Amino acid sequence: MIRIPISLLLLVIVPLAADAEDDYLLEALRANPEVAAAYQSYLAASTRGTQVRALDEPTLSYSEFLTSVQTRTGPQERTYAISQSFPWPGVLKLRERVADANARVSFYRYEVKRRQVIEKVGLARIEYAYLKRATDRAAENLGLLEQIKPVVQEKVRAGGSLATSLRLDVELAVADQEVDTLRDQRPGLDAQLKVLLGRDPGGDPLPWPDLPSQPPALMPLGSIRSELKAHHPMIRMAEAGIQTAKEGEALAGKNGLPAFTVGANTIDIGNGGETASSVMLGVKLPLRREKYRAGREEAAALTAAAGASLEATEQALLADAVKLYAAQQEAVGRWQNYSSKLIPSANQAVDLTREDFRNDKASLTDLIESERILLDLRLLQARALADAHKAAWQIRALTETLSESSK
Mind listing the pLDDT tens digit of every residue in the chain (407 residues)?
Answer: 555 555 445 544 444 444 444 578 888 888 888 888 999 999 999 999 989 999 999 999 988 877 777 766 677 778 889 999 999 999 999 999 999 999 999 999 999 998 998 899 999 999 999 999 999 988 988 888 888 788 777 777 777 677 777 888 888 898 899 999 999 999 999 999 999 888 888 888 988 888 888 999 999 999 999 999 988 999 999 999 999 999 999 998 888 889 999 999 988 777 766 777 889 999 988 888 888 899 899 999 999 999 999 999 999 999 999 999 999 999 999 999 999 999 999 999 989 988 888 887 888 788 888 888 998 899 999 999 999 999 999 999 898 876 544 44
Residue 319: what pLDDT? Answer: 95
DSSP assignment letter at 341: I
Q: Name which of 56, 24, 406, 399 is nearest 239 in CA terms.
A: 406
pLDDT of residue 406: 46
The pLDDT value recorded for residue 330 is: 97
Residues contacting residue 19 through CB under 8 Å, at least 6 positions apart: none
Is 384 in contact with 335 (CB distance < 8 Å)?
A: yes
How would you classify residue 272: left for phi > 0, otherwise alpha for psi between -120 and 50, otherwise beta?
A: left
Provide the pLDDT for residue 15: 42
Are 32 and 10 in contact by the 8 Å Cβ rule? The answer is no
Q: Hey, where are the domains in the chain?
A: 6-55+101-256+291-406
- Comparing C-alpha atoms, which of 173, 151, 178 is closest to residue 364? 151
Per residue in 178-206, pLDDT (tens digit) is: 999 999 999 999 999 999 888 888 888 98
Q: What is the pLDDT of residue 6?
A: 52
The predicted pLDDT at position 273 comes to: 66
Confidence (pLDDT) at 158:
72
How far apart, in Å, are the Cα atoms of 210 and each of 207, 295, 338? Answer: 9, 58, 20
Q: What is the pLDDT of residue 264?
A: 92
In sequence order, what are the beta bridge partners of 79? 63, 267
Closest CA to 121 of 206, 185, 52: 206
Tell me 404's DSSP state. G
Residue 407: other Cβ atoms inside 10 A? 9
**What pLDDT, on the 0 to 100 scale, is given for residue 197?**
86
User: Do 270 and 74 meet the contact criterion of CB atoms below 8 Å apart?
Assistant: yes
Q: Position 404: which residue type? A: E
Q: What is the CATH number of domain 6-55+101-256+291-406?
A: 1.20.1600.10
Alpha-carbon distance of 376 to 327, in angstroms, equals: 21
pTM over 0.85: no
Q: What is the pLDDT of residue 404?
A: 43
